[in-house]
Structure 1
Amino acid sequence: MYPDEDQVLMGSTSVPLCFRIYYGFLIREGMRADEAGQLEWSDIDLERGAVVLDENKTDDPRAWALSPDVVRALRKWREVCPDKLRVFVGKWGSNSLPGQNGAARFRDHLRRAGITRPELFETTDSRLNIRLHDTRATFITIKLANGRMETWISDRTGHRSSGQIHHYKRAARKVAELGLSDFAPLDEAIPELRSEAGSVKASGPVGAAPEARAANEAAFAPPAQAPAACDVAGPLEADVEAPESGRLDQAASRQLEPPRAPGSHGPGGGARGHE
């Protein structure tokens, strides 16, 4: 993805906020999608702006300073995040990301945002359509093009050799020649996270006006309730799937599961490897 396409995606309120903050984090920090899905608020020091992946959650423990704009965005996201343990969760609050069919959902969200560049959606003999895993390639390419050192990049991505990062340098030269800039600040690119007097705009943190809180509650409401504005026109099946159990035990999962409409079916299919 190019930085201008990322900005279109981040600014599209037709894509649920919980997915945009997740995608924006992946693209700006280079973390693996499954690593980000395991992140807990205790792994992030929002006061100092750092993240720590310990040996219990990844086979490649590492720590680094988050981009300041990502820290600001996460501070605001935490005010409305439906899960007080995990950082990135789906619309139900109990289902973890990336969840089932993460790559297909990512492509659907790109289309919903109005991104239509054919290379992102076509599979040929020499190229695959874009996958969620490719947010790491986006991160590496754009950061190399904007002058970041390989060691700075590998601290975040976990690549163990210079040769692995060298693979992206040709694409980075193209980006540099095109004069493409870095990613827009995450807290400014996502409209709901642009602050007014320190609160999350139109997202309803504790203490916000009743209508703002109601807007946030509607964004995470199950389909049987009033749908969020972003889901009124043709909701994606991937956006309204029933909660996944994640790390919750089965009893807790049953308590959190929203009611299903008569005759409805649970999600089908599974995630592709490395996506």
Structure 2
Amino acid sequence: MSSIKTRDGTNSRSGRPIIGEASFRANGYEIRITLAGKRTTIRLPALGRTETPDATARAERYRDAVATFAREGRTLPRAALEPIARSIASLPETRLDAAREAFQIMLAAGRPAGELAAILSGIIAAPNDDAARAAVKLSKLAADGRASLPADERLSYDWIPPGLAPERAALLAPSSGTLPGTFGHLAELFLSGRLADAFPGRIHKRANYDSDRSGLRHVLPALANVPCRGLTLDHGEQALSAIPERLGPKYVQSIASNIRHLLNLAVYPLRWTETNPLPAKWVPRSDVKLERQILMPAEEHTFLACTTIPLFMRVFVAWQSRQGTRYIDAARLTVSSITFQGERATVRLAKTKDNDPRSWALDPDDTMMIRTWLEWRKKQGEKLDPSSPLFPGQSGGVIEPSYLALRIRMGLWEAGVSRAALFTRSQHSWPHEEHDLRALFCTYSLAKGRPASWVSDRTGHSLASMETYRRPARRWSEVELGDLAPSIRAIPELAALAGLEPLPPTPLPAQPGDLTVRPDTAKLPHERVSAQVSAHGRDRRGQERAKKSAEFSGKVESFAPALTPCISSIRSQKKFVW
């Protein structure tokens, strides 16, 4: 038997020197060392069961590493120190320096023992030395408070791609409660935009992930805790079955495509798994082409003239109907994007969704609308600078995309537009949305004889994609649906400020299919829930109270007819809530 002894540091419990001894015995090499006042034996199975000079030298290195950890971690309790020491002995020899550095960083920062054990466990389980070094660099950022680490010693850090810069590796750290390397971790990185930030140029960062988030919420309960490396086709089928049937085949196809796209990202650039378990044909086909609804000129004019709808919303709708920009492109427009040149103005759109910068001229009516809109904002006390959004929301920032389509439908209903097709959702049709204002612009422009190139200069459409709008444009021309009202005169507040006579909208003719009750597609979520509870979930006592209240109201109105006009007046004065 041979052994090598060393003395480096003292034991904090008794003040005695910490003695480490690397020995070769019948079962192979082992280390004997005092941890928190108790003699501990740690085996080194990686060195084999044959005594050689090379293995002895390697045993000395492990002994030195364990002794260093015992000295620097002497303030830790034995229950935490011993597992860490055994983790060090299990490390590949090439990762001892990385483990020592990470331990010193985390210990100096006062991180909990659970995180110390987790980082060492991650270095052990890392698929290669590059990933181990990335975990060490990540521990530096965690010590500075710039990243979070899961405090679970059973988890590894093999979710850090080899060779990734530490600043980008920190972006991939899961939040508290998220299991690393799982589909939930992948979805979290994608929906937060951190995945695109970690791999710029390889993953496109979207302006917002609202539609992706609303779709994935149906499948995350089934997939969140499934490791990407262990996800199978059966998991995919289980996720598809969790999607409500009421959403229709088109929406199911969109969600399935998103799941498969995320797993492609797990293959590359994340390299969490070697292949995507979901083949291309797994995504359900949907041959259903949804019917989209666009506003008629009279309906759009009615919306713009309704003064109970916030002015910022009406100006935004007027712009979208007459310029056809995407929401995200309109949201990027600032005061400096407009250059006034007499009665005309030029719009400069430097950054677009399709990376195709565009510039075009506004007609005199729209130029006056924008000029008056900026003047109206100044009169309201708003301080405009070149970076101020051209279309702010109610809070003053960029107009929010959340519930934007819903708010437009609510405004249409408030203005008195009740055409059923605008509010009906089925497997073959979709209610009116904000993007349909872009379709209104394309259809109207083609119907009025504008060349497709003139339209694409503003919208960014390819000439081939413009064919989609030619059929509704021909129908528009045949039926003679009329012209869009001049934007400056259609909005009463701006017309008055510009010294022009407001143009009142033409009364909408009654149609047999007009709705008489506000539909769910024009209600906020909490209003829909309240209506369902009132209709289906009210208990007997609640029904009795409502019945008594109705009887009492009936008696009041019957015995006091003079109150009826007052009650009707109050009900008619209820304001539209945004």
Determine if the TM-score, normalized by the shorter chain, exceeds 0.5.
Answer: yes
- Structure 2 SS opposite 1:63: strand
Contact residue 31 and residue 136 of structure 1 kept, 8 A: yes
State which of 182, 187, 210 in structure 1 corresponds to 2:483.
182
In structure 2, distance between residues paired with 1:136 and 1:199:
30
Asked if the contact 2:373–2:494 (Cα under 8 Å) also holds between the matched residues in 1, the reply is yes
CA drift of 1:56 comes to 7.5
Equivalent of 1:42, from 313, 318, 336?
336
Whole-angstrom distance in 2 between the partners of 1:99 and 1:199: 33
Change (3 A) 1:123 1:87: same
Matches within 5 A, 1:237-248: 239=578
Select the residue among 375, 391, 401 that pairs with 1:88.
391
1:99 is displaced (CA, Å) by 3.3
Mark the CA change 1:88 to 1:200 in structure 2 (over 3 Å): closer, same or farther: farther
2:321 to 23, 27, 30: 27
SS state of the match for residue 427, structure 2?
Answer: coil
**Equivalent residue, structure 2, for 1:146:** 448
Deviations 1:6-31 (A, max 9, x none): 11011110111111000100000111
CA positional deviation for 1:70? 0.8
* C-alpha distance 56-10 of structure 1, shift in aligned 2 (>3 A): closer
TM alignment of 1:48-87, pairs within 5 A = 48-55=344-351, 59-81=355-377, 82=382, 84=384, 85-87=388-390
Per-residue deviation, residues 178-235 of structure 1 (Å, max 9, x unmatched): 1122211100100111146x4699xxxxxxxxxxxxxxxxxxxxxxxxxxxxxx7233
Give, in whole Å, the separation in 2 of the partners of 1:148 and 1:56. 23
Report what 1:163 is aligned to.
Answer: 464
In structure 2, distance between residues paired with 1:106 and 1:99: 11
Give the 5 Å matches for 1:105-124. Answer: 105-124=407-426
Shift in alpha-carbon separation, 1:190–1:147, aligned structure 2, 3 A:
same
| Distance in structure 1 (CA, Å) of the matches to 2:415 and 2:576 | 13
Q: Give ranges in structure 2 of 5+ residues lacking alignment.
A: 1-294, 502-572
In structure 1, what is the equivalent of residue 429 of structure 2? 127
SS in 2 for 1:132: coil
**Which residue does 2:13 correspond to in 1?**
none
Which runs of 4 or more aligned residues in structure 1 lie more than 3 Å from their structure 2 counterparts after TM superposition? Answer: 55-58, 198-201
Matched-pair contact (CA < 8 Å) for 2:301–2:490? yes
Distance 1:235 1:92 in 2: 17
Instruction: Count matched residues.
Output: 205
- Among 301, 305, 318, the alignment partner of 1:11 is 305
Q: 2:403 aligns with which of 90, 101, 104?
A: 101
Map 1:244-259 onto structure 2 (within 5 A).
Answer: none
Deviation string, structure 1 residues 70-117 (Cα, Å, up to 9, x no partner): 110111000122462111012232x32143211111111111111111
3-state SS, counterpart of residue 194 of structure 1: helix
Note the C-alpha offset of 1:67: 2.2
Counterpart amino acid of 1:87? Answer: L
* Distance change in 2, residues 1:134/1:103 (3 Å): same
In 1, Cα distance between the equivalents of 2:335 and 2:353?
Answer: 13
Letter in 1 for 2:358: R
CA distance in 2, matches of 1:144, 1:98: 30
Q: Helix, strand or coil: the match of 1:125? A: coil
- Tell me by how many angstroms 1:172 deviates: 0.7
Letter in 1 for 2:327: A
Q: Alignment partner of 2:348: what SS? A: strand
The 3-state SS of whatever aligns with 1:6 is: helix
Separation in structure 2 between the aligned mates of residue 176 and residue 144 of structure 1, nearest angstrom = 9
Is this contact kept in 2: 1:41–1:87, CA < 8 A? yes
Aligned-residue offset at 1:54: 0.7
Determine which structure has more spread, i.e. the larger CA radius of gyration. Answer: 2
2:340 and 2:447 map into 1 onto residues whose CA distance is 28
Counterpart contact for 2:328–2:353, Cα < 8 Å? no
- Corresponding residue SS for 1:90: coil
- Aligned 1:190-269 pairs, distance under 5 A: 190-195=491-496, 198=498, 233-236=574-577, 239=578
For residue 59 of structure 1, report the CA deviation from its aligned partner: 1.9
Tell me if structure 2 keeps the 8 A contact 1:27–1:139: yes
Distance 1:30 1:112 in 2: 24
Q: Would the aligned equivalents of 2:347 and 2:360 in 1 still touch at CA under 8 Å?
A: yes
- The percent identity for this pair of structures is 35
Give secondary structure in 2 for the equivalent of 1:15.
Answer: coil
- Please give the alpha-carbon distance, in whole angstroms, between the structure 2 residues aligned to 1:76 and 1:103: 26
Q: 1:129 to 1:235 in 2, by over 3 A?
A: same
Q: Is the 8 A contact 1:34 1:98 kept in 2?
A: no
- Matches of 1:100 and 1:200 in 2, distance apart? 34
Higher share of residues assigned helix: 2
Deviation at 1:57, TM superposition (A): 7.9
Higher relative contact order, chain-length normalized (CA < 8 Å, sep 6+): 1
> Given that residues 12 and 113 in structure 1 are in contact (C-alpha distance below 8 angstroms), is that contact kept between their aligned partners in structure 2?
yes
